[in-house]
Amino acid sequence: TQLLEQSPQFLSIQEGENLTVYCNSSSVFSSLQWYRQEPGEGPVLLVTVVTGGEVKKLKRLTFQFGDARKDSSLHITAAQPGDTGLYLCAGPSGYALNFGKGTSLLVTP
Amino acid sequence: KAGVTQTPRYLIKTRGQQVTLSCSPISGHRSVSWYQQTPGQGLQFLFEYFSETQRNKGNFPGRFSGRQFSNSRSEMNVSTLELGDSALYLCASSRDTINTGELFFGEGSRLTVL
């Protein structure tokens, strides 16, 4: 099993702050995905990164895939309360996705 | 279009009982996978079905089983329930392979075992 470790586990910040969360593995992945899960709901895909060194932007969210395709980061600029949720990274393993345990983000007004 | 539908949303069982959870994928999606989510272990892969065939199985005991029907709907069953089976069970569907495709998750079935 290819393990994905996410850090930090918990993050509590105020509205307007910037933050970065990390997803690391000792294994090489063909791609990595980031999902966000809100309470009472299933995870929703935010982005898929495929190429080493790739940077993708989704409004205030910036995703980066490491050059060696072993790690990824998610940077949020000027966080808003609506960004609150569990951020999960996932990588393919056969016909399954391996998920990290997630970073639980709380953004307070 | 309608999303992934899971039933029931909540259920309470006692140790030793068995439970069946149902998942209706998005229309046109042929792959259905199941995950168990707990606070301690996060999301763990249970199994994946494509066109009624199980293509992959996670590291769970044989008490956990599933199947997929010809209309792509899927069920999972847990027999001889244990306290540790309390979790959110999530179903996800996708068009075909999931290596690069998007998984669409349902809202989950929250199982409590007493």
pLDDT in tens, B12-69: 999 999 999 999 999 999 999 999 999 989 999 999 999 999 998 999 999 999 999 9
Is the model more confident about B103 or about B17?
A: B17
For B75-93, give one letter per residue: b (16+ CB within 10 A) or e: bbebeebeeebbbbbbbbb
Q: What does the alpha-carbon distance between residue B86 and residue A70 come to, in Å, rounded to a whole number?
A: 32
Distance from CA of A2 to the nearest CA of B (A): 12
Residue B48 with chain A: CB contacts under 8 Å = 95-96
pLDDT at A95: 77
Q: What does the alpha-carbon distance between residue B80 and residue B72 come to, in Å, rounded to a whole number?
A: 26
Confidence of residue A96 (pLDDT cuts 50, 70, 90): confident
Does the CB of A1 have a partner CB in chain B at under 8 Å? yes
CB contact under 8 A, B35 and A99: yes
Does the CB of B53 have a partner CB in chain A at under 8 Å? no
CB contact under 8 A, B102 and A48: yes
Confidence of residue B1 (pLDDT cuts 50, 70, 90): low
State pLDDT tens for residues A17-57: 999 999 999 999 989 999 999 988 999 999 999 999 999 99
β-bridge mates for residue B50, sequence order: B31, B53
CB contact under 8 A, B42 and A44: no
Q: What does the alpha-carbon distance between residue A18 and residue B111 come to, in Å, rounded to a whole number?
A: 36
Closest C-alpha to B32, from B94, B97, B78? B94
pLDDT at B102: 83
The Cβ of residue A58 has, within 10 Å, a number of other Cβ atoms equal to 11
Does the CB of A109 have a partner CB in chain B at under 8 Å? no
- Sequence-ordered list of residues with C-beta below 8 angstroms from that of A42, at least 6 positions apart, any chain: B4, B90, B92, B105, B106, B107, B108
pLDDT at A1: 62
Q: What does the alpha-carbon distance between residue B45 and residue B59 come to, in Å, rounded to a whole number?
A: 8
Closest C-alpha to A22, from A87, A80, A98? A87
**DSSP designation for B102:** P
Q: What does the alpha-carbon distance between residue A23 and residue A7 come to, in Å, rounded to a whole number?
A: 7
Confidence of residue B2 (pLDDT cuts 50, 70, 90): confident
pLDDT at A3: 87
- Sequence-ordered list of residues with C-beta below 8 angstroms from that of A63, at least 6 positions apart, any chain: A34, A46, A47, A49, A55, A56, A57, A72, A73, A74, A75
Residue found by looking up tokens 């190429």 in the block: A51
User: Range with the lowest mean pLDDT among A13-17, B48-52, B94-98?
Assistant: B94-98
pLDDT at B100: 53
CB contact under 8 A, B100 and A100: no
CA dihedral A7, A3, A72, A12 (to 10 degrees): -20
Residue B94 has pLDDT above 80, yes or no: yes
Does the CB of B89 have a partner CB in chain A at under 8 Å? no
